[in-house]
Structures are given as structure tokens and as C-alpha cells.
Amino acid sequence: MEDVLRERLAAAGQHHVLRYWDELESAQREVFMKQVSGLDFTTLRQDFECVTALPDGQGPSCSPGDLEPPLNNFLGSVSTSDPECVQTWRQRGLLQVAAGAVGVLLLAGGQGTRLGVPYPKGMCKVGLPSGKSLYQLQAEQILQLQRLTDKVHSTTCQVPWYIMTSHHTNEPTREFFAQHNYFGLQRDNVLLFEQSMLPALTFDGKLILKDKGELAMAPDGNGGLYKALDTSGMLQDMEKRGVRNVHVYCVDNVLVRVADPVFIGFCITMAADCGAKVVEKVLPNESVGVVCRVGGLNRVVEYSELSPEDTARRDPDGRLTFRAGNICNHLFHIDFLKRVVTEHLSKLPYHVAKKKVPHVDDAGKQVKPKQPNAVKLEKFVFDVFPFAERFAVLEVIRRDEFAPLKNADGAATDTPSTARRLLLSLHQRWLENAGAILRPVCSNSSDTELADPLIQCEVSPLVSYAGEGLSELVNGRELVSPFVLEPSDGAPK
């Protein structure tokens, strides 16, 4: 077996990975041989050469005139649509929830490295008065949505929560949910599954040793979802449960509305097999991809792929032409997911991410590089958009639904502090609109742009899913900041 492996590695130009073989113990050799033997060296090399042949490994740039904005007849907006229309979307979405036809799929394979924490992002807290983690906030939204639906439709509905983890986040996430009793959700409705791992490669395509008997591996990107759905059996589980519409989102959006009935109802109204929720991009140089059409096909074009002309192009009303900012918030019909798995998996492209990957050098010493030294091949969840026959786009209000958590405090944007401020500000608007009398707390910063809101009143998802039902609880009531409105404060359980 060892000789066969050596021959395969030599033929692939990867014989260096066994340079420390003689130093490994028997058990280490067995584990290492299993890891290396599972790789398809030919396919790996082809994928590497294909993607690195493109500019920056990202894909071809788009020339002026190649792009079109989303089709108007498949484009909706929460802010500009008639309120009765939005309410109709919501009612249709709630009907789907009541029928047990809605599932939620969370992309949670990322570690909290950039946040400076040694655990999965979903376990992170952003300093809310309640001290809740992202996982808890999202779990409680699902509970409240089920309760709202049961109240309206006299049902006992369940929304299954599929959580895609990675090799690094799977066990900590399982343990976290078990420790917190699944935050009140039924245990058999919280289903974890793992995405695949791919080896990190040097800039000339060589495998990298994380340790003397271990390759450096990384998750295959959020686009690894589709393969994982099939191999894990989760797609089959969805069919068995009668799930028809699957809400897919990333764990690090603190303002995400899980299984948003408005979004679900909008996509159903459009008879869409695939939908994207977007926020308006207002600055040309904002580093966000945009949902648009290229050659008549829907896709996400990264900001680095846009030409200067398209980046700055504006409509007659002054808004950016390509303003549909992608926030990784999608709805897929189950039939579309089945087509992707059975017909399109091999067509999904790889993208390159340049990373700083710790490794063992030629002298056997551990090295933590200060500059990127490796590439990781990734697939993106939105790469399936071109396969959609009916693709719908719903624009939502950024300050209500998008607060990304990417960086540790001290960075300019997307930090726990910025996310916390956005959530507290949203809840303040909810409470004031419901007639609450809010008393402020002194600011904890002399810099007004960095300070938390003077009003720090948090609304538990178990009290209100999206600001509804608060008037009967707080109208005319004085709330002194900081304050957390929980079910025990008079809200129905």
C-alpha cells in the first residue's frame, strides 16, 4: 500500500509530502495514508491549473456593455412596493410555513479566526445586553416564526434547521447546541452535516504539510453545499419531510431574518425556482458583489470583476445601475436543488482564495507565514444562479436586514461593535414605533460615530420576529436603557 501511494505521489509531482514518513509512528502513518489516499491528484491538478489561469483566479472581468441589471419583472422591493403587496407576500410565506413546506439551511463552516476567537462564528456574541450568541438569536427566530404561524393558521408547524458545518466547526457546534438544549427547538429538527475538505496548495500547485503527518486542508467553500446535500442525505431528508422551499443564509449576518415569510412569499409569487435577497449598493467603490445578468444569465459579479464604467454607471434617477448588493441570502425550490445535484455539480467553477497557511518547512519546523503563501480552491453558493429558469431578486432595507460580522473590533467595518449598534438601533425603532417611552443611558464613548446608541433596548426574538406585536406590550410604557424585552416581561410565551 505504501509503495502504491509513493508511486501515485511521484507521478503527480507530490512526492515531497512523504519526506517525514520515517519519523512517523505506525498510527500516524495509517491516518496520514488515509488522508492522502483519498485525494484525486489528476482532478486536483486540473482544477488548480484551470482556475489559476484566470486573472487573479477569480474569473474573467466583464467589459462595459456585457452586464445588465436584473429583469424588472422578476425584481421586487420591500421599501417601494405597496404595503398591501408586501403583506400578501408575507401571508403566502406563512402558508408555506404552516404546511411544513419551508426548511432553513445555515452555512456555518467558518471559524472565527478573523474575529479573533478559537470557535465557530455561530457561537460568537456581539455584546448585546442579553449576551446571546448568533446561534441563539437565529434559533429563537425559528421558534417565534413557528408560534406566529400556529397562531394565524391554527397549526403545529415545524421548520427544520439544516446546519452545514466543516471539519473544524462540526464537533464544537454539536456540543454547543447540546449544552444549550437546542435553544428550545426539537432536537430532531436541528440537523448538522459537513461540507467537504480540499487541500491547500502552494502557488505552483504543491500540497502543503500542516504537520509532518498531516496535509493542510480547508473547507471547499459555501458552494460545497450542493455536493454535501447529496452525500449527507439531507436533500433526501428534505423531500421526506415535504420541504419545498429552502432558505439558505450565512451565519454571520446579525440582522438576518430566518425563513423570512415575506421573501418566501415573494419568490412564490414570482414562481421562482431560485431567489436572492439583496441590499442597495450606494457607493461605487463598496467592496460587495452585485446580482446582475451576464450574457442573459443570472450571476453574482464580484466588485473586482466590474469594469470602471459599469461600477460607476447610474440610472436616470441617480441610483447605481448595478446596485443589487449580494448578501448571501437565498431561497431555493427543492426541485431546483435536485437539478443542481443531478445535472450541474460538475459545472460549478472553483475560485481561488490566497491565504496564510501554517506549515512545516524543509527543516521540519513549524512556520506561521506573515504573507499569503497558499491558495485554497473554493466554490460559491451563488454559482448555481445561471442554471435557474426563473430567478427572482428582492431588495430589502439594509439597516433592517444586513449587519455582517467579519472582523474583530478595531477594524473599520463589520465588527461586533458595528453589528451590535445596528441591531440595537433596529430594536429602538421597533419600540418607538410601538409607542414605548425610552430613557437613555450615558454613552460609553466620546466618539459619537463609534458609540453605542444612547438607547440600548433589545427585543428578544421570542417576543417579536420582525417588530410585530409590540404595541400591546409597550405602548405608553417607560423602558429604561439598558433593557431586554423577554417573554417574562409580559410578552406571550
Can you give the residue ranges of every domain in the chain? 59-406, 416-493
Q: What count of other Cβ atoms lies within 10 Å of the Cβ of residue 367?
A: 12
- Which cell numbers in the block locate residue 162? 439544516
Q: Judging by DSSP bridges, how do beta strands 102-107 and 161-165 pair with one another?
A: parallel
pLDDT of amino acid 453: 61
Residue listed under C-alpha cell 524543509? 362
Can you point out the beta strands (E) in 399-485?
Answer: 437-439, 457-459, 478-480, 483-485
For the chain, what is the mean pLDDT? 92
CB 275 within 8 A of CB 330: yes
Find the mean pLDDT for residues 87-101. Answer: 98
DSSP annotation string for 54-80 = SGGGT-----TTSEEPPPGGGEEETTT
Q: What is the pLDDT of residue 450?
A: 47
DSSP 295-349: TTEEEEE-TTTS-HHHHH-B-TTSSBSS-EEEEEEEEEEHHHHHHIIIIIGGGPP
Map residue 193 onto helix, strand or coil. Answer: strand
Lowest mean pLDDT among 199-213, 407-421, 478-492: 478-492
The CATH T-level fold of domain 59-406 is Spore Coat Polysaccharide Biosynthesis Protein SpsA; Chain A (3.90.550)
Q: Are strands 374-378 and 351-355 parallel, antiparallel or unpaired?
A: antiparallel
* Domain 416-493 fold: Seminal Fluid Protein  PDC-109 (Domain B) (2.10.10)
Contacts of 431 (CB under 8 A, 6+ apart): 438, 457, 459, 470, 474, 479, 485
Q: What is the pTM of this model?
A: 0.93
Cell of 402: 444586513
Burial of 160 (0-12, 13-18, 19+ CB in 10 A): buried
Q: In the structure, what pLDDT confidence band is assigned to residue 448 with cuts at 50, 70 and 90?
A: very low
Rounded to an integer, what distance in angstroms lies between the CA atom of residue 398 and that of residue 390? 25
Taking only the tens place, the pLDDT of each residue in 319-373 is: 999 999 999 999 999 999 999 999 999 999 999 989 999 999 989 999 999 999 9
pLDDT-derived band of residue 63, with 50, 70 and 90 as boundaries?
low
Q: Are 302 and 56 in contact (CB under 8 A)?
A: no
Q: Judge whether residue 253 has pLDDT over 70.
A: yes
Residue 493 has pLDDT above 50, yes or no: no
Using a pLDDT cut of 70, give the percent of the chain over it. 94
Q: Identify residue 431 by its one-letter amino acid code.
A: L
For 259-280, write each residue's pLDDT tens digit. Answer: 999 999 999 999 999 999 999 9
CB 226 within 8 A of CB 274: no
Average pLDDT over residues 129-140: 97
Q: Residue 444 above 90 pLDDT? A: no
**Distance between CA atoms of residues 266 and 216, nearest Å:** 43
CA–CA gap between residue 413 and residue 397 (Å, rounded): 18
For 389, half-sphere exposure in the C-beta direction (CA atoms, 13 angstrom radius) is 8
Residue 207 pairs with which residues in a beta bridge? 201
Cα 267 to Cα 244: distance, rounded to the nearest angstrom: 12
Confidence of residue 150 (pLDDT cuts 50, 70, 90): very high
> Which is nearest to 369 in space by CA: 210, 221, 241, 255?
210
